[in-house]
Structure 1
Amino acid sequence: MTRWATFDCFGTLVDWRHGIATGIELLFPGRGAELLEVYNRFEPQVQAEQPVRRYREVLAESLRRTAAEAGLDLVPDDASVLGTGLPYWPVFPDTRPALAALRAAGWRLALLTNCDRDLIGETQRRLVVPIDAVVTAEDVGSYKPGHAHFERFAESFGATAENWVHIAQSHFHDMVPARALGIPRVWINRHADPHDPAVADAVLPGLDGLVETVERVHAA
């Protein structure tokens, strides 16, 4: 039986917060950390308003709204800074070892990502470890926490609760819909978020020890 470990990418494998904050810093030095929290409020709103909007434009529109709320003058062409920089956002130090260990343990790897095909293609080269399948927001015409990513993956690869574990950092985007669909799941709570841990089958602070945790969740 093929066993699938699916991941959200940005925030779980790639340091999304660093990428957003650094992009903002390029335009507004000294404001990156502060404006990241403002940006975090706007991105889910923009995604929900127009689910078919490409992620590059989600990034740009969310940045426009962030700058407007902060009273900052954003040069129109500068709104593309986040999409331009995304392929260079850093991979977490524990990402490549964890992915390699899962492959060595016989798991196939997939990404279920709120991203465009071209952007995730650029990001995969930084992961280094081969990825067997990818489902993007561009593919399904919607963004998580909608269920379309999970449903498309299940339909395409015959994944069920018996051979599938989903691993992600976002409680809102990933853990909640995965539970609703009955998918076994591991919450990577990198930032000690105070959300209800009972939504997940297991919780880790990072990807260290992931193979053992995934095997335990799968066996249960």
Structure 2
Amino acid sequence: MRWVTFDCYGTLVDWRHGIRTGTELIAPGQGARLLEAYNRHEQAVQTEAPTLRYRLVLAEALRRACAEEQVALHHDDAFVLAATLPYWPVFPEVQSELSALRADGWNLALLTNCDRDLVAETLRRLRVPFEAVVTAEDAGAYKPADAHFDLFQRAHEPEAWVHVAQSYVHDMVPAHRLGIRRVWINRLGERPADESIIQRTLPDLRGLPAAVGHPRD
């Protein structure tokens, strides 16, 4: 089978909007700086505890962000991000571009740093069928470790495989290391640390079917 795999949060779902607006619920006016602080802590939490459920990663990274920014956080409020994640918005072009990939004959899969129950809620919002989902809960690790990619490859033995993601560190680097074709969705206009890792770059998913090509090519 021929597959396009995706990261979910940041690539298909507006992760930054979700973190910013979620933290605004508990700390009005502080969402923008808590988003940036959260982003500095999440990967460290995942590295320290690679089997920790993602809802607990969200809570611990938020605790650390609030401590760094000296924002008071009540114990129960640390779980606001897991509670609001099912409502984080899907980027507007996602449904049409994924539908076009399916019409071209590609199978779609998610390789996500998330829990099964949380991503199941997000799948309802994506409104496009996915033939496979690999979560951090399944893999026992968080990207940029290879576990998601290895598990997917063992289960599906793809004849052709393109990985599409927004995160350079979490997705482009391991996909390059494993020799997987890749498209970087550079929504933030970042400069890669190593240009040779990047094969194709798009600012969002528009034009993705042309970028990945026909599955029979």
Query: What is the TM-score with the length of structure 2 in the denominator?
Result: 0.97
Q: Which residue of 2 aligns with 1:167?
A: 164
- Are 1:202 and 1:217, in contact at CA under 8 Å, matched by a contact in 2? no
- Alignment size in residue pairs: 216
Which residue of the partner structure matches residue 215 of structure 1?
Answer: 213
Q: 1:8 to 1:47 in 2, by over 3 A?
A: same
Residue segments in structure 1 that go unaligned for 5+ positions in a row: none
Look up the match of 1:193.
190
* Residue segments in structure 2 that go unaligned for 5+ positions in a row: none
Of 194, 198, 204 in structure 2, the residue corresponding to residue 206 of structure 1 is: 204
Q: Any conservation in 2 of the 1:197–1:203 contact (CA below 8 Å)?
A: no
Q: CA deviation at 1:129?
A: 0.6
Q: Does the 8 Å contact 2:105/2:215 carry over to 1? A: no
Give CA deviations for 1:108-129 in whole Å, capped at 9, x if unaligned. Answer: 0000000000001000000001
Shift of 1:73: 1.3
Q: Distance in 2 between matches of 1:122 and 1:44?
A: 23
Please list, as runs of the form range in 1=range in 2, the aligned pairs for 1:1-220 lying within 5 A after superposition: 2-159=1-158, 162-195=159-192, 196-215=194-213, 219=217
Question: Secondary structure, in 3 states, of the residue corresponding to 2:172?
Answer: helix
1:35 deviation in Å? 1.4
Whole-Å Cα distance in 1 between the matches of residues 215 and 180 of structure 2?
10
Cα distance in structure 1, aligned partners of 2:216 and 2:142? 26
Change (3 A) 1:217 1:203: farther
**Per-residue deviation at 1:217?**
9.9
Deviations 1:31-78 (A, max 9, x none): 111111111010000000000000000000000001111112100000
Q: Is the 8 A contact 1:144 1:174 kept in 2?
A: yes
| Aligned residues of 1:184 and 1:217 also touching (Cα < 8 A) | no
Deviation at 1:201, TM superposition (A): 1.4
CA contact (8 A) 1:145 1:172 kept: yes
Deviation of 1:218 after TM superposition, in Å, equals 8.3
How far the C-alpha of 1:98 sits from its partner, in A, is 0.8
Secondary structure of the structure 2 residue equivalent to 1:186: strand
Secondary structure of 2:114's partner? coil
TM-score, normalization: structure 1? 0.96
What secondary structure sits across from 1:92 in the alignment? coil
- Runs of 4+ with >6 A deviation: none
Partner Cα separation in structure 1 for residue 97 and residue 202 of structure 2: 13
Q: CA deviation at 1:198?
A: 2.8
What is the aligned-residue RMSD (CA, Å)? 1.3
CA contact (8 A) 1:55 1:114 kept: yes
Any idea what the Cα deviations from partners look like across 1:129-173, whole Å, max 9, x if unmatched?
A: 1111000000011000000000000000002xx500000000000
